[in-house]
């Protein structure tokens, strides 16, 4: 059991919690809580940390992870509280390998290859080769539904967007490189596990990536306060993408200009706009509604 906060592993966990740069360097992030831990694909877990109290109360849980080949480590309650990102730690925290997705994964045309860099290293041709081997003829063709995020900043919004997007059947998320770090502990928490299942891709050049979506046959809609068309007057029963902008400033002009069409969600009262995660959810669930044949 680790009982000192000056332990090297503990210091590393704290850095992983606090610093986006360290997460990127180590290709690791943290996911906390017993419910969240259940959502993590076993093979993604680098190490599972449990508090002394949790180990005493739920030792059989930890034993099950160990049996499945997951490395575990016990921390004193005091040390656990220090590495935890919550006020009332629940005693379970995993260091998780980051998944690596290709741009094609967010289109969902082939089953997403959610693989960490560790797994990738064992593959000769990690993207194409894997698709061919694993999906083959069984790979289901899914109608692409991509959410594109331009400079989204709020961690809660980012997590909620992942949660809604998975539930609405989106194929993936494309985001500008200046969006909030998806591996921020608050984002991870708000995804409620969707971060482990929904493919996402961070584009160096967002307008360029959106043009690639268009070249691939997707119709691109920009959620825009000045859109002349209402969102529910469009037909989303084909491959499509929705562009969602920053909380305060909306879409950057160069991103909005990539869209085929600007749509707006009609609003009553004096509200100027909707919360970004809410606007994204309304669009995604309208697409889901239409695709169910209503």
Which of 80, 85, 43, 81 lies closest to 65 in space, CA to CA? Answer: 43
Cβ distance to a second copy smaller for residue 164 or 184: 164
Minimum CB distance to a second copy, residue 210 (Å)? 24
Between the two ends of the chain, the Cα-to-Cα distance in Å is 56
Binding mask 264-293 for a second copy (x = CB under 8 A): -xxxxxxxxxxx-xx--xx--x--xx--x-
CA 262 – CA 226 distance, rounded (Å) = 8
How many positions of this chain bind a second copy (CB under 8 A)?
38
Range 153-172, binding a second copy (CB under 8 A): 156, 160, 163-164, 166-169
Minimum CB distance to a second copy, residue 194 (Å)? 6
Helix 155-168 / helix 276-291 crossing angle, nearest 10 deg: 0
Binding mask 181-200 for a second copy (x = CB under 8 A): ---------x-xxx--xx--
Q: Which of 39, 73, 85, 135 binds a second copy (CB under 8 A)?
A: 39
Minimum CB distance to a second copy, residue 167 (Å)? 4
Which of 170, 11, 188 lies closest to 99 in space, CA to CA? Answer: 188
Binding mask 115-154 for a second copy (x = CB under 8 A): ----------------------------------------
Ramachandran category for residue 276: left, alpha or beta (phi over 0 → left; psi -120 to 50 → alpha): alpha
Cβ distance to a second copy smaller for residue 83 or 161: 161
Cβ distance to a second copy smaller for residue 52 or 193: 193
| Residue 226 touches a second copy, criterion: CB under 8 A | no
Long-range contacts of 121-129 (CB under 8 A, 24+ apart): 126/100, 127/102
Binding mask 84-113 for a second copy (x = CB under 8 A): ------------------------------
Minimum CB distance to a second copy, residue 168 (Å)? 7
Binding mask 232-271 for a second copy (x = CB under 8 A): xx-------------------------------xxxxxxx
Say which residues have a Cβ less than 8 Å from residue 65's Cβ, sequence separation at least 6. Answer: 42, 45, 48, 72
Which of 174, 170, 181, 171 lies closest to 206 in space, CA to CA? Answer: 174
Token digits of residue 136 = 């083959």
Cβ distance to a second copy smaller for residue 136 or 266: 266
Pairing of strands 99-100, 28-32: unpaired
Minimum CB distance to a second copy, residue 223 (Å)? 13
Binding site for a second copy (CB under 8 A): 39, 156, 160, 163-164, 166-169, 190, 192-194, 197-198, 230, 232-233, 265-275, 277-278, 281-282, 285, 288-289, 292, 294
């Amino acid at each position: 059991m680790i009982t000192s906060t000056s332990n090297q592993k503990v210091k590393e966990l704290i850095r992983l919690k606090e610093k986006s740069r360290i997460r990127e360097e180590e290709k690791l992030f943290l996911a906390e809580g017993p419910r969240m831990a259940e959502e993590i694909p076993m093979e993604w877990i680098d190490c599972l940390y449990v508090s002394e109290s949790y180990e005493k109360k739920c030792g059989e849980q930890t034993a099950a992870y160990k049996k499945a080949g997951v490395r575990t480590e016990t921390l004193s309650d005091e040390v656990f509280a220090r590495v935890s990102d919550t006020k009332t730690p629940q005693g379970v925290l995993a260091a998780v390998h980051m998944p690596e997705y290709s741009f094609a994964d967010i289109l969902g045309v082939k089953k997403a290859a959610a693989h960490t860099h560790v797994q990738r290293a064992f593959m000769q041709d990690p993207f194409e080769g894997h698709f061919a081997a694993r999906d083959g003829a069984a790979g289901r063709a899914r109608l692409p539904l991509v959410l594109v995020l331009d400079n989204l900043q709020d961690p809660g919004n980012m997590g909620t967007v992942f949660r809604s997007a998975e539930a609405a059947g989106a194929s993936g998320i494309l985001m500008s490189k200046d969006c909030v770090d998806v591996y921020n502990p608050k984002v991870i928490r708000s995804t409620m596990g969707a971060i482990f299942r929904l493919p996402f891709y961070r584009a160096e050049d967002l307008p360029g990536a959106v043009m690639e979506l268009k070249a691939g046959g997707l119709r691109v809609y920009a959620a825009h306060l000045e859109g002349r068309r209402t969102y529910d007057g469009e037909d989303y029963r084909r491959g499509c993408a929705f562009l969602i902008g920053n909380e305060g400033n909306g879409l950057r002009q160069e991103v909005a200009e990539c869209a085929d069409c600007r749509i707006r969600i009609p609003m009553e009262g004096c509200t100027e706009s909707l919360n970004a995660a809410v606007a994204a959810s309304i669009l995604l669930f309208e697409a889901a509604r239409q695709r169910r044949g209503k």
